Structure 1
Amino acid sequence: MKKSTVLLGVTVWSVSLLTAYYIGSRANEASNPSTTTPIAQANRENTQQQSFQTVALTEPEEANKLEAFFDGEALSLEEMLREIPTLSAEESRQLLTQALAMPKSDPKRARLINELLSQIAETEPMAALELATQIDSLRDYESARVSILEVWGRNDPAAAIAWAATALENEPSRSRASQLTAIYRGYALTNPEAAFQQALTMDENARLKNRLLGEVLEAQIENGGLEAAKLAVDLVSDPDMKDRLRRDLVSEWAEFDPSAAAEYVVSLGDEASADLKNALIREWAESSPAEAAAWLDSLDADDPAIARASASIIEEWTRYDLAASAEWLNSLEASPELDRAVITYTFSAAAEDPASAMTWAESIDDDRRRTWMMERVAATWKEQDTESFSEYLDSSELTEEQRTTLENAENRGGPGGGGGRGPGGGGRGR
């Protein structure tokens, strides 16, 4: 066969092949327009990617919003946060890149980063911890690690605790404590009994161990495990640790049922320490200071808890009713131990009725505290009503030195203002 004939045949074959490919491509394009050209293919992939990625917006007022987060729609922060748990780890990573690129001044940035890292931590906690290193704010970085570790502690506590044993060994004590606490908080959400026992066996200092145990108790009670938490605490053999844990238990319990918590404290008899009673009162007073005061009145008059707990009651009660709180405080037996409650009341009363507040200040037993409190009341009083303050000085039995001290008193922040009416009849008698 001649060489020219062979070349001609190859040429015809090549042209036929190219023609067939072109016709086939056009037919495929007609049935699937999205695959027409490489540019069209890229546009199609970009459109798909926008179903879960952030789109950079051109309008300045929209620059800080994550738009086209889902299906091309602009969502509010709360809507975004609700959708994040539905994302895959890969989608979360891509959105995390966008969130990290947001302006640091955007208040939504830190929360979005936290939630996205928590979502990644559901399946890849170590990867989430590594990604968190991209956060340049130390405060936000610490917050993100805590969020990640809580997720890890909930899903795989054994692995998280094993990691912490080496990874946190050289961390500063405060940072280490907060991260361990996060792990145990997550652990307690799925198995509080095991978390409690694990924390008991930890070779840690007493302060950190108590913090971890308290965190477990709080999570357990919040999730309806009050009886189990109470039993676990009662079985602790170390008396000091048991008392501290009982304080944690009672504080959490009193948030939703202070009366039942009070019955538990009473049932302990002599085992109920003054600190335990004060923990109960401090929490109870936030919701009902009058009821807390009535319970405190039921204790023996010489109970050491009364002096400290009364200050907690007064601190809360004066926010709502100065007159009622003054009447109750005046019913208590005067003592040096009650100075703290009197000072607390005086701070609140000074802004409402400085004349009566001064009477209370004069009743403080400790000389140094009495002088200090009278100065603070005087500073507020002369700002409010110079004439009546001068009348007080003229009618008082103060020494010349004391008078000069009060006249020169300056308001360094001043006594705190309280709500409600003034105490009417003035302070307690001495």
Structure 2
Amino acid sequence: MADLNRIGLGTLVAVAGISLGLGIGVGRLTTSVPSAGDGAKSRIRKSVDLEGDETPVPRSSSADSGSMATSGAFSEEKLQQASALLNPRLRERGMEEALAHANLDEVKRALRWAESLPDGPIKKAALADILQRWAEMDGAGATNYATQLYEATGNAGPLREALQGWAQTDPNGALQKLQSLGLTDGLKANIRSDLVAQWTEQNPQGAAAYAASNRETGSWMGLVATVADQWSKEDPKMAASWAGSLPTGLDQIHAVNAVISNWYQANPNEVAAYVSSQSPGASRDTMALTLARQVGQEDPAAGLKWAGTVGDPKTQEKAAAGALSDVYRKDPQGALQTLASSSLPKPMQEAVTARLKGSGPWWR
């Protein structure tokens, strides 16, 4: 439930439409903003460290311009020129462009060149791009090579790059291979989450079907939450509908929370109207709990109004405590006065007070 604690909000306003009829507010008013899907898809996340000298490099050298335009054919010379760029992000982009049209034989030739480089960030970046390009064409071969590197060095970076490249063209194959590797449970889960998030960017319905078939209902973490979190950045309404339709479980609660939290950051009025329109039930209660927490961080009284729409008493108790938890840490007396002024029944107010005063976190 770590997602329930993030997010800073702006000025409180009333929600339009249905939410106005309920007298419920949200933390801020925004205009519609383009989703991440309106632009280019984000590229595969690299485990290579791209931080470093970001100082613009002189333009006197063509290699330092960062423009490694390819003519449609692989050139080892262009790859080497790109690797010489001082700016790590331009270097990364240049090597990607140089490898974009490389065939399997050319990639293996590039690999031999990268292996000859001295250890350091340039070699790491080159291997990362080469492995991903190799894996797009031959996932099993690239992953077997990367597995040998991991066994020899303990560095999982190349293995992650290979699996991510494989998942670009065959996510199921990459995930099946991952499951067969002798990795620690933690590392395997971490890479699997990255692969599923990448799959969601490419094909949310396919990733959603995979996640729904591989649930961990007894854990807050799980693949359905990974899909919901990523999908909501592209299409929050579809993500919310999918997460809300999943059978109950701790992972489903986390998935719903992730969607509503992300959607609230992008468009608080839109998500408030969506939640207000949902039929009563466990999923709607989780959505309202999340809004109570988000809104309550800026306006506890408005957050309590959202808590008041929760049907299940125990969930309502958590929602009200979430709406007040931030202000309670700063001003316990003021928080309890806000609670006393709310429309929540007296027994519920007493339960919320006990929860706030308890030693555990408000959501337990």
Q: What TM-score do the two structures reach when normalised by structure 2?
A: 0.56
Supply the distance in 1 between the matched residues of 2:222 and 2:333 (Cα, whole angstroms).
37
Aligned mate of 2:97, from 68, 86, 108: 86
Aligned length: 265
Counterpart-to-counterpart distance in 2, 1:299 and 1:208: 24
The answer to whether structure 1 residue 249 and structure 2 residue 267 are counterparts is no
**Which of the numbers 191, 196, 215 marks the counterpart of 2:203?**
191
The one-letter code matched in structure 1 to 2:235 is G
The aligned amino acid for 2:304 is: L
Is 1:216 aligned with 2:227? yes
Alignment of 1:315-354 (within 5 A): 327-333=334-340, 335=350, 337-338=352-353, 341=356
Q: Which digits, 9 at most, give the CA deviation of each residue in 1:55-85, with x for residues without a partner?
A: xxxxxxxxxxxxx545xx5421111112121
For residue 289 of structure 1, the aligned residue among 278, 285, 297 is 297
Q: Alpha-carbon deviations, 1:184-234, whole Å to 9, x = none?
A: 2232222211221233334x6535897222222223222x33333334335
**Greater RCO, CA 8 A, separation 6+:** 2
Going from structure 1 to structure 2, the CA distance change for 1:77 and 1:274 (only over 3 Å counts) comes to same
Determine what percentage of the aligned residue pairs are the same residue.
15
Q: CA offsets, 1:96-144, max 9 Å, x none?
A: 4366712xxx6x8766654553344333333432443435664x41x44
Structure number with greater Rg is 1
Partner of 2:68: none
Q: Which of 137, 162, 165 is residue 123 of structure 1 equivalent to?
A: 137
1:52 has 2:75 as partner:
no
Q: Is the alpha carbon distance of 1:93 and 1:112 closer, same or farther for their aligned partners in structure 2, counting shifts above 3 Å?
A: closer
Q: 1:161 to 1:78 in 2, by over 3 A?
A: closer
**Which residue of structure 1 aligns with residue 64 of structure 2?**
none
| CA displacement at 1:152 relative to structure 2 | 2.0
* Maintained 8 Å contact 1:278/1:308: yes
- Within a 5 Å distance, the mapping from 1:85-124 to structure 2 comes to 85-88=96-99, 89-90=107-108, 93-94=111-112, 96-97=114-115, 101-102=119-120, 113-124=127-138
Are residues 109 and 227 of structure 1, via their aligned partners in 2, closer, same or farther at CA, if it must alter by over 3 Å?
A: same
Residue 10 of structure 1 aligns with which residue?
Answer: none
**Shift in CA distance, 292/195, structure 1 to aligned 2, threshold 3 Å:** farther
Q: Is 2:240 aligned against 1:230?
A: yes
Distance of aligned partners of 1:174 and 1:261 in 2 relative to their CA distance in 1, 3 Å threshold: same
**Secondary structure of residue in 1 paired with 2:298:** helix
Work out whether residues 296 and 306 of structure 1, in 8 Å CA contact, stay in contact via their aligned partners in 2.
no
Find the aligned partners of 2:220 and 2:167 in 1 and give their Cα distance: 17
Letter in 2 for 1:184: V
Q: Which residue in 2 is equivalent to 1:206?
A: 217
Q: Which amino acid aligns with 1:163?
A: K
Counterpart for residue 153 of structure 1: 167
- Give, in whole Å, the separation in 2 of the partners of 1:49 and 1:151: 20
Aligned equivalents of 1:123 and 1:194: distance in 2? 21
Q: Which amino acid aligns with 2:207?
A: A
272 and 50 in structure 1: CA distance in 2 versus 1, 3 angstrom threshold:
closer
Determine helix, strand or coil for the equivalent of 2:173: helix
Q: Which amino acid aligns with 1:52?
A: L
Unaligned runs of 5+ in 2: 1-74, 100-106, 341-348, 360-364
Q: Flag structure 1 segments of 5+ consecutive residues without an equivalent.
A: 1-47, 54-67, 342-363, 370-430
Cα offset, 1:154, TM superposition: 2.7
Instruction: Report deviation, 1:300.
Output: 2.8
Alpha-carbon separation, structure 1, partners of 2:113 and 2:336: 58
Give the Cα separation in 2 of the matches to 1:179 and 1:187: 12
CA contact (8 A) 1:100 1:113 kept: no
Inter-CA distance 154–185: structure 2 relative to 1 (3 Å threshold)? farther
Select the structure that is richer in helix: 1
For residue 174 of structure 1, what is the aligned residue in structure 2?
186
- Give RMSD over aligned pairs: 4.1
Amino acid of the structure 2 residue aligned with 1:252:
N
The letter of the residue matching 2:135 is A
Paired position in structure 2 for 1:43: none
TM-score (structure 1 length as normaliser): 0.49
Q: SS where residue 290 of structure 1 aligns?
A: coil
